[in-house]
Structure 1
C-alpha cells in the first residue's frame, strides 16, 4: 500500500517535512500547525500539500505527526523570533567577513522553543564553518545549525517568476528537482538559443527543458541531422543547416546558394547522413 503524506514547510529549517497522512488527520493546505520533528521536539510549520505521494520515500518522517493546529500562543512565539532572526543574520554576516569565508547567508530561522538557530547559505565551494559555529554560539547563546544548499534550492525557497511570466515551477508545484543536462537542449535543437535564454533565475538550465524532451526524441528520429546532404524533390541537392523538430521541417542550403525550408516529406533521400554531435560534458548539467 502506497503511503500518502502531508508536506509541511518547517519555519525553523525552511524545508519541506513529509509526514504520514493518517485517516483521522484533518488538515487543510495553508493551515498553520505544530508537529513533532526528527528530534521529537515541537516545531511550527505551514501545510503545503495533503495526500500526495512522497517525494522521497526514505525521507518520510514516520515517527512524526501533527500535534495540533497552531494556537495564538504558538504564533506569538513565532512572531517573537522575527527580530532575533534579523539580529542573528547581521551577526553572522559580520563574523563571515571577519573570518574571510566565501559564503552567502540568506535565511535564518529559530526553532519554536527558541533554543536552536538555523542558518542557510550558498557557496561555490565546500566551506569549513567550524569557527563560524563557535563564534555564533558564543554570541547568540544558542545551538547553531548551518546548512549549505545549491542555487536551484535557493531559487525554490525564495521564489520568483520565470521567463514565461509564471511563478517558478520549483517554487509552486515541482516537488523534486531533477537533473537537467545539455543533451536535452541538443535533442530539442535549442543549442543556438544561448545560455541566457536557456538558464533560469538560479543560473542553471531551465527545469522546463525536461518536460517535452521525450516527445522531441520521438520526433527527432524522423529528422536528418544538421550537416546531412539530402536531395529535395524538384530542387536538387543541399545541406541541412537548421532543424524545426516540432514542425518536422528543415532548412537546407542548396548547391546554387539558395536557402529553402521544407518538410521532411519533401526530402527525396538522404545522400550522406551526418553524425550527431558528441554528448556534452557532465559539467554542463544541473545537479
Structure 2
C-alpha cells in the first residue's frame, strides 16, 4: 500500500485544519512551520506531528512543508498582520466608493507578501474587477478576493457563544459538520431560531456533539403520549428525561409514577 507522510496544521489567527506533506519525522505538535500551500507561503502551527496515511485516504494535500519557522518568521507574521489591518481599511473605503454590495470580513498577507487575500460575504455574485485593479495599484502585489459563507465569517471573526465560551469554529473545530433540525428535536430543545442558532445565523455546531447519545437513548424510551403497561397498571407517558433515562407515567387514577433506567424494561408499550 502506498503511504504518504503528512502533518496536520492550522492557521495562527483562526482554527482551520489543513494537511500538508512532510517527510521530516522530527516535526511535533506545537511547532511553528513555514509551508507552501494553495494560498501561498504561510506560517502555520502544527496540530499533529508527522504520521503516515494511505494515499487513498486523502484526496490532495493542501501544500508541502518547507522548514521550521524562525524568530524572524514570527516577527514578519506580526508585521504582516498590522499591514493587513491597514489594507482592510483601505479596501473597505474602496468598496464604499465603488458602491459594491459586499461585506468585507478580513485581510491577510502571505508570509512573503506576494499575495494579499481579502475574504468577504455577499448575498449575490459581485463584479469586483475594478476593485481588484484599485487594490493591485495600491499594494503592488497579487490580489485575491474570496467570497465565503456565513459560517466561515463567524470562524474568522470569533466571538462568545451562548454557553459563555469562545466559538467552537474559531477555537478547535477545524471542519464544519452537518447539523440538522432533527438533532435539536432529539434533545427536546426549543425550536426557536434564537435558541438553537449560532452567531452565523445557522444551527449551532454543538447540536451534533451528543446527538449519537440522544438517538441511542431515545430507542430505549417510549414516546411521550404512548400508552404503556406498568407494574401498577395501564398508564400514559407524560414526560421523559433522556439524560437520566427516566420516564414519567400517569396512571388511570391520575397518580404519576417515575420509572428510572433500571425499571424501563418493565414498561410495555400498548398498541
Q: What is the TM-score when the length of structure 2 is the normalising length?
A: 0.77
Partner of residue 57, structure 1 = 58
| 1:44-66 C-alpha deviation (Å, 9 max, x unpaired) | 33334324688x8224146x222
| 1:64-107 C-alpha deviation (Å, 9 max, x unpaired) | 222343252x4444344344322211121112223333332221
**Are the equivalent residues in 1 in contact too, given 2:14–2:170 (CA < 8 A)?**
no
In the TM superposition, residue 146 of structure 1 has moved relative to its aligned partner by: 1.3
Detail structure 1 runs of 4+ shifted over 6 Å in the superposition.
Answer: 11-14
| 1:213-250 C-alpha deviation (Å, 9 max, x unpaired) | 22322221222223323345436443x34332232333
Distance 1:76 1:114 in 2: 14
**For 1:65, what is the secondary structure of its paired residue?**
strand
Distance verdict in 2 for CA 1:92–1:14, change over 3 Å: farther
Task: Point out where structure 1 has 5 or more consecutive residues left out of the alignment.
Answer: 273-287
Distance verdict in 2 for CA 1:242–1:121, change over 3 Å: farther
Q: Equivalent of 1:210, from 200, 203, 208?
A: 208
**Are the equivalent residues in 2 in contact too, given 1:233–1:266 (CA < 8 A)?**
no
| 1:22-61 C-alpha deviation (Å, 9 max, x unpaired) | 2x3433444333223348x64333334324688x822414
**For 1:7, what is the secondary structure of its paired residue?**
strand
Distance 2:123 2:52 in 1: 33
Distance 1:46 1:197 in 2: 34
Report whether the alignment pairs 1:245 with 2:246: no
**Are the equivalent residues in 2 in contact too, given 1:21–1:50 (CA < 8 A)?**
no
Distance verdict in 2 for CA 1:14–1:103, change over 3 Å: farther
Partner of residue 139, structure 2 = 140
**Are the equivalent residues in 1 in contact too, given 2:14–2:155 (CA < 8 A)?**
no
Aligned length: 265
Q: What is the TM-score when the length of structure 1 is the normalising length?
A: 0.73
Report whether the alignment pairs 1:114 with 2:113: yes
The 5-angstrom pairing of residues 1-287 of structure 1 reads 3-10=4-11, 16-22=17-23, 24-38=24-38, 42-51=41-50, 57-61=58-62, 64-72=64-72, 74-188=73-187, 190-192=188-190, 194-234=192-232, 236-238=234-236, 240-252=237-249, 261-263=258-260, 265=264, 268-272=267-271
**For 1:192, what is the secondary structure of its paired residue?**
coil
**Are the equivalent residues in 1 in contact too, given 2:28–2:50 (CA < 8 A)?**
no
Distance verdict in 2 for CA 1:198–1:234, change over 3 Å: same
